[in-house]
């Protein structure tokens, strides 16, 4: 089996409506994310020979979502979520990408340099 991972970053604000601490207030992060695709068969012909998936195809699926709904946005509004935790964001992104990336196996979101969440259905 092969596993390919594509890293991405975005700057965004959110607030956790139900949190009992400071995260209930509006604040922002420099988020880092990873999408992971897994599979057992490589392309045998054409321009993608020897690849599981083209990294460019991973980026092409990801970029419109990052640009349109994540980067420099207020996640509560653009994701239509009352309390967008890292866990919920990872699952939301997985669901948004799965139809475009059938080999998608996991989404990881780093909210801070010491806090990370992985969603793997």
| pLDDT per residue as tens digits for the range 81-102 | 999 999 999 999 999 999 999 9
d(CA 104, CA 100): 9
Task: Give residue-wise pLDDT tens across range 46-73.
Answer: 999 999 999 999 999 999 999 999 999 9
CATH number at residue 11: 3.30.479.10
As for how many domains the chain has, the answer is 1
Segments forming the whole domain that contains residue 49 = 2-119
| Tokens of residue 19, six digits | 């949190």
* pTM across the whole model: 0.94
Point out the residues that are catalytic. Answer: 23, 72, 111
């Amino acid at each position: 089996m092969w596993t390919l991972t594509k890293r991405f970053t975005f700057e965004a604000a959110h607030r956790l409506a139900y949190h009992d601490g400071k995260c209930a207030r509006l604040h922002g992060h420099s988020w880092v994310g990873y999408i992971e695709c897994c599979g057992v068969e490589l392309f045998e012909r054409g321009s993608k020979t020897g690849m599981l998936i083209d990294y460019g195809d991973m980026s092409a699926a990801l970029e419109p979502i990052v640009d349109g709904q994540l980067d420099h946005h207020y996640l509560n509004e653009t994701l239509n979520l009352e309390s967008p935790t890292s866990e919920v964001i990872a699952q939301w992104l997985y669901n948004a990408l799965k139809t475009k990336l059938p080999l998608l196996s996991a989404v990881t979101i780093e909210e801070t340099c010491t806090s990370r969440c992985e969603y793997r259905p």
